[in-house]
Amino acid sequence: MTADGASGARKPVSVLFVCLGNICRSPMAEGVFRSITKSDTRVGSIDSAGTGAYHEGSPPDPRTMSVLEENGEHSYHHQARKVRNSDFKDFDYVLAMDSDNLLDLSRVQRRIVKNSGLHAAPAKVMLFGDFGGHEGEEVIDPYYGARDGFTIAYEQMTRFSKGFIEKVLQGGDVPTS
């Protein structure tokens, strides 16, 4: 019997990527992860959000989109949104881009658990960089920098996504944050 209670069938894993404003890092992570896992039936819902509502309703930063397009991802569309309480039950993994966002997400999750009377919220809140081979690795926010910061972020997202696939989808150990 599997985690979803069905014999022989495993529930697809759902992932939410989170940064501050949801226009640079987290939509890039979502775009990369969608591209890498597009035909993988082990993956269910994929989305991204921000801990702040600064850019709610806006498309990703043009530099994010140009880096995705340069790397073959031409069909990605997204509108920025803020993290919702329901995300902690709707997603199996909520993956933060840096320690500040991880702290914010952990606080929200604790508040949800406290107010709901549950022992724990279903989502695993973790640093995305923990899947890249270097525990605690963060994606520096490229928003105020030059375009090369977006290229570096893309390389990290690709490495982290492949690490997630290896550790979670292929049954390896999940890093602990």
Return the pLDDT at 2: 44
| 126 phi/psi in degrees, rounded to 5 | -145, 165
Query: pLDDT, tens digit, for every residue of 30-71?
Result: 999 999 999 999 999 999 999 999 999 999 999 999 999 999
What H or E segment, with its residue span, contains residue 151?
helix 148-164
Residue 55 DSSP SS3: coil
Residue 13 DSSP SS3: strand
Residue 125 DSSP SS3: strand
Task: State whether the Cα torsion 19-98-150-71 is positive or negative.
Answer: negative
Return the pLDDT at 4: 47
What whole-number distance in Å separates Cα of residue 100 and Cα of residue 103? Answer: 5
Of how many residues is the chain composed?
A: 177
Alpha helix ranges (H) inside the chain: 25-37, 62-70, 87-90, 99-116, 148-164
Return the pLDDT at 175: 56
Query: pLDDT, tens digit, for every residue of 69-108?
Result: 999 999 999 999 999 999 999 999 999 999 999 999 999 9
* Residues with catalytic roles: 19, 25, 141
